[in-house]
Amino acid sequence: MAKYRYQEYEDEAPRKRRKGPNGCLILVALFVALLIGLGVWGVSIINEITGSDEPGEEVTVSIAQGEGPTSIAETLAEAGVIKQPTVFRYYLRYKGAAGNLQYGEFVLQKGQSYDDIIETLSQYVRRATVTVTFPEGITAIRFAELMEENGLCTKDEFLEVANNGDFSQYDFWNAIPEDPDRFMKCEGYLFPDTYEFFEDDTVYNYVNTFYAEFDKKMTPEMRQRAADLGFTLEQAVTLASFVQEEAGNAEDARVSAVFHNRLAEGSPFPRLESNVSSYVQNPNDNNYIYNWIAPYYGGWDNIPQNIYNAYNTYERAGLPAGPVSNPGSDALQAALYPDQEYLEEKYYFFVTDKNGKYYYAKTVNEHQNNVNTAFSVK
């Protein structure tokens, strides 16, 4: 009988345990902690927006022209003026104040209220600026002269930073060969355009403005195109500088094709033979060696022989040691996309007359006839 009753109990489903008070207490504690955490966070956000009763030290914050709310919020956070850049950005949107913010230098305090910060940043107190235009095809030395002429820095200061400063944040800078035969490391990478500079900015920032623009203009597609052609970026820029100087007009792509044909493997004319960088000592020619290298060294006879050899395109095969000017977008495009017809037809020569007309030739005899024609134009 006892055994039977024991079996009955074994066959019954096990009874569920009732939860004790501990589980509920844990859930309640977690919920309370969450509420407290949210409350503390909410209070900190409110304090962030309304500011501290005793704002901290003063800091000077520079807002660049064209900076948007996100960038401005990050700048303020980096300066320690605010702690929550995302909250500040949304507060700007809530207040509808983003469009009122100015650029320039502003004195703010750490822990200042958002409203006070916005009021300060909305004041028209921008720094004095200078606008300078740098034409396509000018040299690095001419860039430096224009900076000096506009009272921004001396020529020597500009060239020192442009050639020897640390701009390793740019891949193109790191790829420029360390060549002792190169005249100017910066040549070719100072992008020509019209810029607005702060009068009291640093020389480094001035130079970086040009390099940043070059880095932006030289798109990933253009860099890939150079690689597809078998060029390094340096070679593409060097070729573009010759296109810029020999043309700089509607003839860019055809002039580029002539140079591409000369640079091609097995070319019967492996030298550029361009008067843009040559042995010719004529002040009326646009000659990089005569007009820029020679004066830099104090005269033609003082040019180091290795530099002269590296840039004389009538003696050196292929491209010279570096660019001979700073090309614009059109010349860069033409260097990468030469005229296909002139490539396939194997044009190796061109000459221009006094009116700017171009004559192209495939052979030496054709070229000589074109030279005679061009020189006979009155």
Express each pLDDT in 116-145 by its tens digit.
999 989 886 657 899 999 999 999 999 999
Give a yes or no: residue 240 inside a domain.
yes
Could you say which of 183, 217, 251 is where a domain stops? 217
pLDDT of residue 76: 93
Tell me which of 124 and 20 has the higher pLDDT.
124
What is the rounded average pLDDT of the residues 363-374? Answer: 98
Specify the DSSP element, H or E, that contains 32: helix 21-50
For the stretch 242-292, pLDDT in tens is 999 999 999 999 999 999 999 999 999 999 999 999 999 988 889 999 999
Could you say which of 104, 121, 138 is where a domain stops? 121
Residue 92 sits in a domain whose CATH number is: 3.30.1490.480
Rounded Cα–Cα distance for residues 131 and 2 (Å)? 107
Rounded Cα–Cα distance for residues 82 and 101 (Å)? 16
> Would the pLDDT of 29 be above 60?
no
Rounded Cα–Cα distance for residues 196 and 209 (Å)? 10
pLDDT of residue 13: 45
Q: How confident is the model at residue 49 (pLDDT cuts 50, 70, 90)?
A: confident
Strands (E), the chain: 58-63, 104-109, 129-133, 194-198, 349-352, 358-361
Contact criterion met (CB below 8 Å) for 247 and 332? no
Contact criterion met (CB below 8 Å) for 312 and 122? no
Do residue 104 and residue 195 come from a single domain?
no
Q: What percent helix, strand, coil does the chain show, rounded to 5? A: 50, 10, 40
For the stretch 324-367, pLDDT in tens is 999 999 999 999 999 999 999 999 999 999 999 999 999 999 99
| Domain enclosing residue 320, as ranges | 220-376
Contact criterion met (CB below 8 Å) for 332 and 217? yes
Do residue 226 and residue 369 come from a single domain?
yes
Tell me which of 223 and 128 has the higher pLDDT.
223
pTM of this structure: 0.71
Q: What percent of the chain has pLDDT over 90?
A: 72
Do residue 116 and residue 162 come from a single domain?
no
